[in-house]
């Protein structure tokens, strides 16, 4: 508390009792009647009359001593009368009569004059000239007190103390000296000495009122709060307005420190502040008192008055403001208050607790300033030893799950696998697996599903993770593992309660289909088609695969029945069903019906992906039925409509063979040479060369054959046997699933015969092996080789795999041209859907939004597109 150094009491003035010299010369006793009369008047305090008479005597008497004495009394009377120029008269006396016996008295008189005028600087100048040894005891006490007081007023407390101590036992000045000694000790926070001095004058009423205030303040500062309260209340009645304000503060803060907050409030409220203004500490104390009384609204009102604070008080206020808001259910305001308290470092414990509340509230109501996981993780990092960290970690895990940040949630859970966290771990690992699966990171997804299954805390999540493990294994072409996992899922007691269960026969059927176990595939596809009638898209697809499975195992009539059902649904791939049905007729010796259906197909499905296939099959069937002209015309139609198609080379070759078998050698050679020239290094070109050789041999034109063959850079006649042997060795390992040996064999073949007969197959199969072993970068050159050749049986698969590799590596520059080719060249609708969806994603990632929108529109227009992908497409559009 601020000290008040008011001059509380008027000085007790002692009249100047000038000792009139009794040693007047005998010469003047009888003769200087007027001088003596003036002395009498002076003693009677008739200073004006005495002064006039002294002036008269001085003017009439030439005696130096008489004139000196008169000058002294004239100046002294002027001082007593408070006349203007009195000091000048005395100074003139001292100047004119330096050897006068009254010089010391003159110094004293001038000093007292200035003292009583309040001119303490001048008073001190004259006090310093006084010879103390000539003073009487009474004069010395007055001198010491007045000089001590002058030191006091000039804030020279050391010298003031020294002079006051000289008169502390004086009857006349002792009380005043002790009071001032006590007050100076109070100002210096020496409360023991202050109390010692004040207690010595406590019996005097004139000091009592003021000392009560000082003693109340000293007891407060000494931590004697009850004594401060008692003294403060006692002093209140006799205090002025300023003192009452300060006493209210003393009493209020004393109650506050005694934790008697209900008693503190009325006194704290009555405090008027310094110069009518409260400090932040004042607002805080009243606010905290209300807070302790659970009067949170008033507490909030006071805490909110603390503005621009950046100290411990402000930090405390923000913290308790947050608590008050919490208790009044104003959680957003509480969040802001705790945030402010947490950003201050004056009290580290409060900062930590504020951070804790800030973190909890952020999770509970959200945070407009930072992400909730960032707030929670920042708390754990800053306060690793906080006992609430297990709770915060749980909230952090939940926040990651809520925000679908499963990656970070998993990282945190793996650090702390408590019993409570293991169930969350299973759930988070599962959802993280789904994320990775959706992103195409299948190996990582598989690892997540395995981790989820390894913590079987929730049977439903165990079942779901098993299903998606199977799905991932299927995508990775691990069909045997996928089948085991699908069967495990099917046998799980909770499987029926999962969203995945309704499609289990469909998935198992497909897995058997991939494993070429077509009988089992038929069983599961039939079960699915009977039990799942709502999912029209899958039912349609099931009929198609059911037809395919029966087709492969030679059950053509059941195959045609399944294809008919697909056609009746008029859904996706109805053209494929119609084409396959037509083919099936050929295998039951119904070629006329096959020809009829193929012709119908060609007219009905002019835009079908299988239109060129139908033309080729129709031409082949005409050939088989010996309808040569119809066959040649159909081949010509195919060649004209699909100049760069996959059947163009085959069709020209077939025409050459027809001419060869009809002994039309020249026409045959023309066609065969066209195949060799325009489709180099393809199986068709090699067969064309082989058949042409027979014609040249039959016609005896071997030299022509040799000269012609030399123009074909892909034929190495002398190395053909080595070519075949090397390839056959590698292919044998490949068919036996000896991946490592197959890779080595194909690599050696390509190195030896980069333009060999089997270079196309070798490159494709080598790429497939690398892909299966997750050596995707190694596979890239081989897939590129395949797609660089004329369209062939491997082109579509190579395009699909190569694009998936570039997409996984996020190499959109290379992925886009491959995807565009796949979209335009693919025969299988799934590959078209795949190409469109990923073109949309790739363009979007490259911020080529125009092309992204264009691709998205194709995705939306494609009825086979998955709903999730359509949802992404709608966002882009």
Task: Enter the DSSP assignment of 308.
Answer: S
Tell me, which fold does domain 716-789 have in CATH? 1.25.40
pLDDT score recorded for residue 4: 28
Q: What is the DSSP string of 265-282?
A: HHHHHH---BTTB--HHH
Question: 288, 310 in Cβ contact below 8 A?
Answer: no
Q: Where are the domains of the chain?
A: 404-499, 504-572, 575-635, 643-715, 716-789, 795-877
User: What is the three-class DSSP state of 171?
Assistant: coil
Length of the chain: 877
Question: 492, 457 in Cβ contact below 8 A?
Answer: no
With b meaning 16 or more CB within 10 Å and e meaning fewer, what string describes 11-26?
Answer: eeeeebebeeeeebee
pLDDT in tens, 824-869: 999 898 999 999 999 999 999 999 989 989 988 988 888 888 878 8
pLDDT band at 22 (very low <50, low <70, confident <90, very high): very low
pLDDT in tens, 271-302: 998 888 999 999 999 999 999 999 999 999 99
Question: 822, 834 in Cβ contact below 8 A?
Answer: yes
Backbone dihedral angles phi then psi of residue 277, each to the nearest 5 degrees: -130, 130
pLDDT score recorded for residue 111: 86
Reading the block at residue 815, the tokens are 């992925």
Task: Enter the DSSP assignment of 534.
Answer: S
Enumerate helices (H) and strands (E) in the chain, giving the number of each: 48, 0
- Asked whether residue 704 carries a pLDDT value surpassing 70, the answer given is yes
Torsion of CA 649, 596, 536, 518, to 10 degrees: -70
User: What is the three-class DSSP state of 97?
Assistant: coil
For domain 575-635, give the CATH number. Answer: 1.25.40
Q: What is the sign of the dihedral through the CA atoms of 146, 148, 149 and 155? A: positive
CA 845 distance to own-chain centroid: 24
Map tokens 């101590």 to a residue: 165
Mean pLDDT in the chain? Answer: 88
Of 547 and 874, more confident:
547
Task: Enter the DSSP assignment of 538.
Answer: H
Of 643 and 215, more confident:
643
Question: 838, 866 in Cβ contact below 8 A?
Answer: no
CA-closest candidate to residue 460, choices 483, 420, 489, 485: 489
Helix (H) or strand (E) holding 428: helix 419-438
Task: Enter the DSSP assignment of 431.
Answer: H
- Asked whether residue 399 carries a pLDDT value surpassing 70, the answer given is yes
CA-closest candidate to residue 410, choices 382, 433, 384: 433
CB atoms within 10 A of CB 532: 16
Give CA separation, 798 vs 29, 389, 493, 769, 802, in Å. Answer: 150, 53, 41, 12, 6
pLDDT score recorded for residue 159: 92
pLDDT band at 73 (very low <50, low <70, confident <90, very high): very high
CA-closest candidate to residue 679, choices 641, 720, 646, 719: 646
Which of 70-74, 192-196, 667-671 comes out lowest in average pLDDT?
A: 192-196
- Asked whether residue 19 carries a pLDDT value surpassing 60, the answer given is no
Question: 11, 149 in Cβ contact below 8 A?
Answer: yes
Q: What is the sign of the dihedral through the CA atoms of 95, 97, 100 and 102? A: negative
CB atoms within 10 A of CB 742: 22
pLDDT score recorded for residue 682: 92
Q: Choose from 178-187, 600-609, 735-744 the range with maximum mean pLDDT.
A: 600-609
- Asked whether residue 7 carries a pLDDT value surpassing 50, the answer given is no
d(CA 541, CA 521): 13
- Asked whether residue 29 carries a pLDDT value surpassing 90, the answer given is no
pLDDT score recorded for residue 35: 92
Secondary structure in 3-state letters for 20-51: CCCCCCHHHHHHCHHHHHHHHHHHCCCHHHHH
Give CA separation, 732 vs 506, 686, 786, in Å. Answer: 33, 22, 21
Paired strand residues for 274: 277
pLDDT score recorded for residue 482: 97
Give CA separation, 144 vs 116, 129, 381, in Å. Answer: 15, 13, 70
Task: Enter the DSSP assignment of 133.
Answer: G
Question: 392, 361 in Cβ contact below 8 A?
Answer: no
Q: What is the DSSP string of 818-856?
A: HHHHHHHH-SSHHHHHHHHHHHHHHHHHTT-HHHHHHHH
Q: Average pLDDT in the 55-77 region?
A: 90
Angle ∠(263,269,272) on CA atoms, nearest 5: 135
CA-closest candidate to residue 54, choices 102, 123, 117: 102
User: What is the three-class DSSP state of 300?
Assistant: helix
- Asked whether residue 12 carries a pLDDT value surpassing 50, the answer given is no
Paired strand residues for 123: none
Tell me, which fold does domain 643-715 have in CATH? 1.25.40
pLDDT score recorded for residue 17: 37
Angle ∠(153,155,160) on CA atoms, nearest 5: 75
For domain 504-572, give the CATH number. Answer: 1.25.40.10
CA-closest candidate to residue 137, choices 180, 169, 107, 162: 169
Q: What is the DSSP string of 566-633?
A: HHHHT-TTHHHHHHHHHHHHHHTT-HHHHHHHHHHHHHH-TT-TTHHHHHHHHHHHHHHTT-HHHHHH
Question: 486, 508 in Cβ contact below 8 A?
Answer: yes
Percentage, residues of the chain above pLDDT 90: 59
CA-closest candidate to residue 764, choices 740, 787, 736: 787
CA-closest candidate to residue 864, choices 841, 840, 826, 832: 832
For domain 795-877, give the CATH number. Answer: 1.25.40.10
Torsion of CA 467, 470, 475, 479, to 10 degrees: -150
CA-closest candidate to residue 301, choices 281, 282, 276, 321: 321
Torsion of CA 50, 52, 53, 55, to 10 degrees: 120
Of 532 and 731, more confident:
731
CA-closest candidate to residue 656, choices 700, 681, 610, 689: 689
pLDDT band at 30 (very low <50, low <70, confident <90, very high): very low
- Asked whether residue 27 carries a pLDDT value surpassing 60, the answer given is no
Q: Which CATH class is domain 404-499?
A: mainly alpha
d(CA 217, CA 253): 11
d(CA 498, CA 42): 124
Question: 579, 601 in Cβ contact below 8 A?
Answer: yes
Q: Average pLDDT in the 28-54 region?
A: 84
Reading the block at residue 176, the tokens are 């005043």
CB atoms within 10 A of CB 551: 21
CB atoms within 10 A of CB 9: 13
pLDDT band at 706 (very low <50, low <70, confident <90, very high): low
Establish whether domains 575-635 and 643-715 are of one fold.
yes
pLDDT in tens, 340-397: 999 999 999 999 999 999 999 999 999 998 989 899 989 999 999 999 998 988 888 8
CB atoms within 10 A of CB 34: 14
CA-closest candidate to residue 267, choices 286, 284, 287: 286
Give CA separation, 627 vs 589, 592, 669, in Å. Answer: 16, 11, 21
Backbone dihedral angles phi then psi of residue 850, each to the nearest 5 degrees: -65, -50
């Amino acid at each position: 508390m601020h000290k008040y150094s008011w001059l509380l009491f008027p000085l007790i003035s002692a009249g100047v009792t000038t000792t009139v010299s009794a040693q007047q010369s005998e010469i003047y006793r009888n003769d200087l009647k007027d001088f003596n009369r003036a002395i009498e008047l002076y003693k009677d305090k008739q200073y004006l009359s005495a002064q006039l008479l002294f002036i008269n005597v001085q003017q009439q008497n030439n005696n130096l001593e008489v004139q000196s004495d008169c000058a002294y009394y004239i100046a002294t009377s002027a001082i007593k009368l408070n006349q203007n120029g009195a000091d000048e008269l005395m100074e003139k006396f001292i100047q004119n009569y330096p050897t006068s016996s009254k010089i010391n008295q003159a110094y004293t008189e001038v000093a007292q004059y200035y003292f009583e005028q309040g001119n303490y600087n001048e008073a001190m100048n004259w006090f310093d000239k006084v010879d103390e040894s000539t003073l009487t005891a009474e004069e010395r006490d007055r001198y010491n007190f007045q000089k001590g007081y002058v030191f006091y007023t000039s804030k020279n407390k050391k010298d003031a103390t020294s002079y006051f101590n000289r008169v502390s036992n004086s009857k006349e000045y002792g009380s005043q000296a002790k009071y001032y000694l006590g007050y100076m000790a109070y100002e210096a926070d020496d409360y023991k000495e202050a109390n010692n001095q004040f207690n010595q004058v406590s019996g005097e009423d004139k000091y009592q009122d003021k000392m009560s205030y000082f003693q109340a303040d000293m007891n407060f500062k000494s931590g004697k709060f009850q004594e401060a309260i008692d003294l403060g209340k006692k002093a209140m009645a006799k205090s002025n307005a300023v003192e009452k304000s300060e006493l209210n503060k003393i009493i209020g803060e004393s109650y506050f420190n005694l934790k008697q907050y209900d008693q503190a409030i009325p006194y704290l409220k009555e405090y008027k502040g310094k110069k009518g203004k409260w400090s932040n500490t004042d607002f805080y104390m009243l606010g905290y008192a209300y807070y302790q009384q659970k009067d949170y609204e008033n507490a909030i009102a006071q805490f909110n008055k603390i503005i621009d604070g950046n100290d411990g008080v402000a930090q405390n206020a923000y913290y308790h403001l947050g608590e008050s808001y919490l208790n009044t259910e104003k959680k957003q305001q509480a969040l802001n208050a705790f945030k402010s308290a947490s950003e201050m470092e004056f009290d580290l414990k409060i900062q930590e607790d504020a951070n804790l509340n800030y973190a909890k509230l952020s999770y509970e109501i959200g945070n407009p300033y930072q992400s909730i996981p960032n707030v929670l993780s920042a708390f754990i990092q800053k306060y690793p030893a906080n006992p609430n960290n297990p709770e915060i970690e749980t909230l952090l895990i939940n926040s990651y799950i809520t925000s679908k940040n499963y990656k970070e949630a998993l990282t945190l859970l793996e650090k702390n696998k408590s019993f409570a966290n293991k169930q969350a771990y299973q759930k988070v690992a599962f959802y993280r697996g789904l994320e990775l699966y959706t992103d195409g990171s299948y190996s990582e997804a598989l690892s997540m599903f395995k981790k989820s299954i390894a913590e079987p805390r929730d049977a439903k999540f165990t079942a779901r993770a098993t299903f998606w493990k199977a799905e991932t294994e299927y995508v990775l072409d691990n069909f045997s593992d996928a089948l085991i996992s699908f069967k495990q899922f099917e046998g799980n007691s909770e499987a029926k309660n999962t969203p995945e269960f309704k499609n289990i026969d469909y998935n198992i059927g497909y897995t058997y289909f991939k494993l070429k176990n077509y009988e089992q595939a038929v069983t599961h596809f039939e079960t699915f088609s009977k039990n799942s009638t709502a999912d029209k898209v899958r039912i349609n697809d099931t009929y198609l695969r059911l037809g395919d499975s029966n087709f492969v195992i030679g059950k053509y009539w059941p195959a045609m029945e399944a294809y008919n059902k697909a056609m009746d649904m008029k859904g996706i791939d109805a053209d494929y069903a119609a084409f396959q049905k037509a083919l099936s007729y050929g295998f039951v010796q119904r070629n006329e019906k096959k020809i009829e259906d193929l012709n119908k197909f060609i007219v009905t499905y002019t835009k079908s992906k299988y239109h060129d296939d139908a033309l080729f099959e129709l031409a082949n069937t005409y050939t088989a039925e010996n309808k040569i002209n119809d066959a040649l015309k159909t081949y010509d139609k195919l060649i004209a409509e699909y100049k760069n198609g996959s059947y163009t080379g085959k069709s020209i070759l077939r025409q050459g063979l027809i001419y060869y078998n009809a002994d039309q050698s020249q026409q045959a050679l023309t066609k065969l040479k066209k195949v060799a020239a325009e489709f180099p290094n393809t199986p068709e070109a090699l067969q064309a060369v082989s058949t042409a050789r027979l014609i040249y041999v039959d016609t005896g034109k071997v030299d022509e054959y040799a000269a012609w063959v030399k123009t074909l850079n892909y034929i190495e006649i002398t190395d053909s046997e080595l070519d075949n042997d090397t390839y056959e060795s590698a292919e044998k390992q490949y068919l036996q699933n000896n991946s490592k040996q197959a890779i080595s064999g194909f690599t050696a073949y390509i190195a030896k015969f980069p333009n060999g007969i089997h270079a196309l197959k070798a490159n494709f199969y080598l790429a497939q092996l690398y892909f299966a072993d997750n050596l995707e970068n190694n596979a890239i050159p081989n897939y590129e080789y395949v797609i660089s050749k004329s369209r062939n049986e491997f082109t579509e698969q190579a395009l699909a795999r190569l694009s998936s590799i570039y997409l996984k590596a996020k190499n959109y520059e290379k992925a886009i041209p491959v995807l565009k080719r796949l979209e335009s060249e693919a025969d299988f609708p799934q590959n078209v859907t795949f190409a469109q969806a990923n073109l949309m994603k790739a363009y979007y990632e490259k911020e080529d939004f125009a092309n992204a929108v264009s691709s998205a529109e194709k995705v939306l227009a494609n009825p086979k597109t998955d709903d999730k992908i359509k949802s992404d497409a709608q966002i882009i559009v």
